[in-house]
Amino acid sequence: MNGDWLLRGRDGRLSVYLPSGDALLCRAERGPGGPWGAPRRMGGGQRLHPGFSVGRSADGYAHLVAWRPTGQGESGLVHSTHYRPHLAALDWQSIGHPGKKGEVTGAPAVAVDARGRAHVFVRNRGRGVSMAAQKEKGGWEPWRDLKGRLVEDGLAAVTGESGRVEVYAAVPGGIVHWRQQEAGKPPVLLETVETPVRPGTLAALATSPGNTTLYYGDESGDLCAWRPGGEPRRLLPCAGPGPVAAVRCELDGHDCTLLAQRSSSGRVAFAAYPTEDEGAGAWWTESGPQLPADATVALTTDEDDRVTAVALSPSAGQFLITRRKAEPGLALEAWREV
């Protein structure tokens, strides 16, 4: 799963997108803060390859992207929009293949601009990055090659507070950053930074009107943060091997960034610090039960702006949730299984 697979919809309900064999499922609250409904298949009956991406628009709509088989040894990307958690998603629509035809080239990433248009990014077979964007009046623009060399799988796409779309990619010994210079224009490669990044650990977050911040694990086992135009900053040792989840929230009247990661012990670890002030320091606090190795964590805020965390384990069929208590600090309710 790539992107924000735990979302708050326009009506305040939370929804979770999760894989199930050759399908993408959604579970949603029946009402804000209420009980959860049964899983529902997204996009109709088409078979999908494992792995998908979710992006959220400013109006709370979910944009879903996945690969599907199209023939012997060939696959193509498909897109669906889910407007309301309690409604069915649109049927999957073809976006095609960045090389016109061929097999899966990498996990997709999706971000949605201020006009509500999805931008889909994927590593291409030349190990650069290709992008397809929705047209304002329906359909898709042709695939564009954004260039890049030796791009690793696991892109991180994000929409800044300006509504412009950005994407980050790991390359050997560094990170590459593309950003839209103008609304409606393709992102351009702006900056490369040398850093010992571990592929598969990238996660991006809008952190101020002019900045997005990329979080990643480095080869020494540290969690680092980088904002284009500056130097990477070490935050703290990684709690575990996978990517972190990140969300901005208010803690005791302060604008903070909360991070969560499945720790090496199997529990979920949380760390918070003042947004964009990596020098203030952060430390992990573990919470909840031990989770299987394939468990992933996501963060959002609910209708009451309370931090909410979800942990999913496909192998164990586990879906756990917790929310922040209505008291100072980052005290969490007991984790409960949905």
What is the domain partition of the chain in residue ranges?
2-240, 241-338
Whether residue 138 is predicted with pLDDT greater than 90 in this model: the reply is no
Is-contact 164 158, C-beta < 8 A?
Answer: no
Task: Using alpha carbons, select from 41, 11, 4 the residue that is nearest to residue 26.
Answer: 41
Q: Quick one: tokens of 330? A: 């980052």
pLDDT grade for 254, boundaries at 50, 70 and 90: very high
Is-contact 236 243, C-beta < 8 A?
Answer: no
**Rounded mean pLDDT, 138-148:** 94
pLDDT grade for 327, boundaries at 50, 70 and 90: confident
Task: Using alpha carbons, select from 76, 93, 87, 200 the residue that is nearest to residue 139.
Answer: 93
Whether residue 183 is predicted with pLDDT greater than 90 in this model: the reply is no
Whether residue 85 is predicted with pLDDT greater than 90 in this model: the reply is no
Whether residue 159 is predicted with pLDDT greater than 90 in this model: the reply is yes
Quote the CA–CA distance of 234 and 282 in Å, as a whole number: 10
Whether residue 209 is predicted with pLDDT greater than 90 in this model: the reply is yes
Quote the CA–CA distance of 111 and 62 in Å, as a whole number: 10
Return contacts of 217-223, CB within 8 angstroms, 24+ apart: 217/241, 217/243, 220/196, 223/259, 223/261
Quote the CA–CA distance of 116 and 64 in Å, as a whole number: 13
**Rounded mean pLDDT, 280-306:** 94
Write b or e for each residue in 177-192: b if 16 or more Cβ atoms lie within 10 A of its Cβ, otherwise e.
bbbbeeeeebbebeeb
Whether residue 258 is predicted with pLDDT greater than 90 in this model: the reply is yes
Task: Please state the CATH superfamily assignment of the domain spanning residues 2-240 in this structure.
Answer: Fucose-specific lectin (2.120.10.70)
- Cβ neighbours, 10 Å, residue 326: 9
- Cβ neighbours, 10 Å, residue 22: 14
**Rounded mean pLDDT, 250-278:** 96
- Which pLDDT belongs to residue 306? 93
> By three-state DSSP, how is residue 278 classified?
helix
